[in-house]
Each structure stands twice: as structure tokens, then as C-alpha cells.
Structure 1
């Protein structure tokens, strides 16, 4: 039988060690490369952090699969078995320009079901973590179940990509929604935005394009506090496909679907 608490203990230790290596890198000069376009960036620290985590995982759990954003690990074509889904620096643009508002994200899944989620805000030393069925925590403080929120009281993080990348929904529906809610935010790190929904700092997070490594850890946290996560159209998420992403407190999530997207 898989000892998830042991795996969680090791994963937290490795993530925090990786975070310390990132903090030490602040005084060094970054090597920055572009990937798919000039705004899709990767640094030597992204790659080194991923390699550090991969080395630890392979040493202790050689039978586990690994899916890393920077191309390390296995070519995953199915969700069978135990898979570590890693984003070594989620929010690379923020890391390069701000040295803040980024996170290490590690989700551990078995047969497509999230078992462990870790999101480490390196600069603020805030580790959001959860083991399936055991609640979600920020460092040593347990996160309470989310309270029902009226849409008029909601703060929603909305990625501007809605305007340029949406194909099925007219972005102009956002205008009345934005007028109705309490406020909007955009942090530039999907992992942190999932953590902020789970901790109640924001009510919902909506974006039009994510990969599994962006939200795998966040899904575990969100489930433990009673939040809902789907595509922006209310459909189930698929770890093997890029898709839109819509997470939030259950009432806000349903209201937005019913009154603005699926009306």
C-alpha cells in the first residue's frame, strides 16, 4: 500500500530545499531563453530546479513517473500509475522581472486522482499543502472549508487571455460580471491563484489556457476546502490536455456558469 504521508513528507522537504536554492540564485545573473514565443520564457533556474526535484524523486521512487514543464521526465500518454507533475517555477515572468509572485508547484497523482498537492511561495515562505482526505494547510495552519460567497462580494482573478484566446464565449460578457463583483486581480501564477482561492484570499480564478503542471497541485488543495474546478465551460479537466481553467468557491462558480457563460 502506498504511504502517502511518507511521500508528502519527502516532497515537502525537497520543495523547501529547492526554494532555498532559488532564493540563493537571486544574487546571480539569469540565463533567459524563449520557448514558444518571446513572452514564453524559461531560465536556467527553472531547469536546475526541475532537475533537482527529478533527481530526488528518481532516487527514492524510481518506479514513479514524472511530468515536468521544462521537458524533463517521461512522455506521459496515460494517467495510470503514480505521476509527479512539476512546475519548477510557475510565474517565470514574475520571477525574472519581480523576484516575487511565483511558486514551485508539485502535484502527485495516482491513476488520474490527485493525492498530494504542494504550492510553495518561495519569497514569502508560504507552503500550501494537502494530502487527499486530510485537509489543506498553509504552513502549519489548516485552511477552513470555504464559506458560501455572494457574487457581489467576490474578488475574481481573471487572466486577460480571455480577450485574445477565447473562441466560444464573447469576452464582452465580462463587463457586466466585473461591474457586479467586488473586484478583479491577476497575479501571473496559476499555482498561486489556485492557492489563493483555496485560502479564501480570492473567490475565483478564470483563465483560458493552462497545462496540467499549472494546476495539478492546486486541484488537490481546492478539493480539500470544498472548491470547484472545471474548464471555463463547466466541463471536467483532463490532465493530458491544455484547456481553460475555472476554479472557485462553489456558489460563485455556479452563479458565473449559470448567469454569464451558459445562459
Structure 2
């Protein structure tokens, strides 16, 4: 398989999609809700996903596609080559801020991540990796991640998880938030994952994400020695939703052992 050629196509299409999004900033968006009033989707999300599907199918007709907006293929196993696409990760930020969102693209072969791309459209920062060939931000090679401890760590987590909610016992994560050097929340899983890859933050966790949210970022983080699992420390299933913990080496094990072991994740 010529992964370099596939990677070149993916980068070209991501940049073209980014330009479409930038040109939309002055237009009126058609905003709809999905599962709840805060789960938003715009006409641009749908347009970008359809753009990728068109491009991929023209060149790689045998590849399968899983996209957030549901325009991809239906399949029950990860066999073959699968593209995991989130056309705009951080749609709420896109609508309200016109920043802090990204295009996320993961290309998997039989369930193994081969290529990851996360494009911060507004800052024109493309984070990318081919498995075994290093990870980059634009043309800059990113250094391997170093071990970190909780007390020196900045951890990204949504404030929802440390206040009373319907999904988890909020008391479980309060000690982690208290012991960390600081906490952040950016509202976009793809960017939070590559922020771990660049060392801007040290860990990121979330209760429930879909494969298109973490597919691209996982390849980039793992290429640098970071660890990506669910909150039980198990390998992710790239065909279903799951919790997520992304962290530097050492820190990941510590969070699982000392803070998450009693949780019903």
C-alpha cells in the first residue's frame, strides 16, 4: 500500500476543505440540532463531509468511509481501509467563535491507524502523521513526548464532569482536577488530542466520543509515544463510541491507577 500517496491526497483535500470553510465565515449558516439542543450541525459540516466522500470515492472507490454526518458507508467490521472523517470537530465553537475547531481525518487499515490528520483551519496548522514515520505540525517534526506527573500537568476536561450530571459520579474526577497544575477545556476533541501531542497540555479525557472524533488524533499522539485508551485503560474500538483518555507516558498510567480505577466508565 502506498501510504505516502494516500497521505498526499488526504492533505490536499484537507487544505481544500479548509478553504471552503474559511470562505463560509461571511455567509449565513443554516444551523440545526441533532441529539440535543447543544449538539449542533451546520450546512457547512454536511457540505465538507460530502466533499471528502466525493474526492475519496473518485480515487479510492474500494475504501470505506465513516463520517459524523452520516453520509458515509454502513459496515459492521473494520476490514479494509476506512476513512474516519469529522468535517468540523467543534461545531459549537465554529458557530459562536469562528475559531477553536478542526477538520479531523483518520485512515485505518483493518482497525489499525495508518494516517492521522488534524487541521486547525483558522491558524493554518496541519498536524499529521504516517505510522512509523514521525508526527509533524506543518513541516516541523514534533519531538517524542516525555513522561509527566499529575502535579505538573495541565489536563483538559469539560467542567460538566466535575459537577453533578447524568452520566458519571462527578465526585470521581474532582481529586484529579484538584491535584493537577491546571485544567482547560477547548470544546474540540481533535485539537485537544494534538495539544497533547505538542505538549501544550499533558492529558485530555472525555466521557463519550465517536471514532471520527479520535481517529486522526490517535495516530498522531501514538506516533510520539503518547497513550490513547478509554477510561478503563482498554484499547479503543474504532467502530463505536467510547470514553477517552489521552496522555503523556507515565501520566496516563498514574491517572488510570490513582484516579479512575473506581469509576464506572
TM bucket normalised to smaller? over 0.9
Task: Report the CA distance between 1:161 and its aligned residue.
Answer: 4.1
Check whether the contact 1:203–1:248 (CA below 8 A) recurs between aligned residues: yes
- Distance, in Å, in 1 between the alignment partners of 2:257 and 2:104 is 31
Check whether the contact 1:108–1:117 (CA below 8 A) recurs between aligned residues: yes
SS in 2 for 1:26: helix
SS in 2 for 1:76: coil
Corresponding position of 2:76:
77
Out of 171-180 and 247-256, give the one that drifted further. Answer: 171-180
Which residues of 2 match residues 107-186 of structure 1 at below 5 A? 107-162=106-161, 163=163, 164-167=165-168, 170-186=169-185
Q: Does 1:233 align with 2:232?
A: yes
Corresponding position of 1:211:
210
Corresponding position of 1:47:
46
Task: Report the CA distance between 1:165 and its aligned residue.
Answer: 4.6
**Unaligned ranges ≥5, structure 1:** none
Check whether the contact 1:165–1:208 (CA below 8 A) recurs between aligned residues: no
Task: Report the CA distance between 1:73 and its aligned residue.
Answer: 1.2
Check whether the contact 1:228–1:249 (CA below 8 A) recurs between aligned residues: yes
**Unaligned ranges ≥5, structure 2:** none
Count of aligned residue pairs for this structure pair: 260
Out of 149-158 and 174-183, give the one that drifted further. Answer: 174-183
Check whether the contact 1:129–1:137 (CA below 8 A) recurs between aligned residues: yes
- Distance, in Å, in 1 between the alignment partners of 2:194 and 2:202 is 11
- Distance, in Å, in 1 between the alignment partners of 2:202 and 2:27 is 37
Deviations 1:50-86 (A, max 9, x none): 1111111010111100111001110121100000110
Corresponding position of 1:65:
64
Task: Report the CA distance between 1:173 and its aligned residue.
Answer: 2.9
Corresponding position of 2:99:
100
Task: Report the CA distance between 1:175 and its aligned residue.
Answer: 2.4
Corresponding position of 1:90:
89
Q: Does 1:22 align with 2:38?
A: no
Q: Does 1:248 align with 2:247?
A: yes
Check whether the contact 1:136–1:221 (CA below 8 A) recurs between aligned residues: yes
- Distance, in Å, in 2 between the alignment partners of 1:195 and 1:30 is 28
- Distance, in Å, in 1 between the alignment partners of 2:184 and 2:124 is 22
- Distance, in Å, in 2 between the alignment partners of 1:60 and 1:247 is 33
Deviations 1:88-143 (A, max 9, x none): 00000000000000000000000000000000000000000000000110000011
Corresponding position of 1:259:
258
SS in 2 for 1:221: helix
